[in-house]
Amino acid sequence: MKKFAIIALAVVFAFVMAGNVFADEGALKKECVEKCEAAAKLIKEKGLDAGKAEIGKKDGPFVSPNTYVFLQKMDGTMESHPVNPALIGKNMTDVKDSNGKEFFKEFIKIAKGAGSGWVDYMWPKPGEEKPSQKNSYVLKVDDNCFVGAGYYK
């Protein structure tokens, strides 16, 4: 009987922990969507240059401990990136993750097609070299550009 109680307790604990993980992931997804929507609204209201400037601020409104927004042209050129400014001006179309996935091409396909969506890929966390699993949301701003924000799993 004691063995059964321990197993039952372990199963309950596992479900509680899994629920917390899914709740946290839901909050992360919501934050990514909200930040992208706010960035797109800023660009539409104040113009691309103002959007690039705000999105590029490392301590700005589009950066949090969980995520950051980046801005890209539909041709794959990175327009603004608050965490890795060395990417700005580079065409990212042919960049592949550690599994060979051309995820920037997927970003563009989603932005041009459905207008918004999610892409899973491998990308190093800021300050790290080893890639980690990441899930990013992309949102079309207009026919020329889109914004994106992601979180690490």
Domains and CATH numbers, the chain: 2-152 (3.30.450.20)
Closest CA to 31 of 128, 122, 135: 135
- The pair phi, psi for residue 61, each rounded to 5°, is -70, -10
Which residues share a beta bridge with 133? 122
Q: What is the mean pLDDT of each run of 10 residues along the chain (153 residues)?
A: 40 34 80 98 98 97 96 98 96 97 98 98 92 97 98 95
The token pair at 128 is 């790290």
H or E stretch at 78: strand 78-80
Closest CA to 118 of 131, 129, 109: 109
Q: What pLDDT is stored for residue 2 in this prediction?
A: 52
What predicted TM-score, i.e. pTM, was given to this entire model? Answer: 0.84
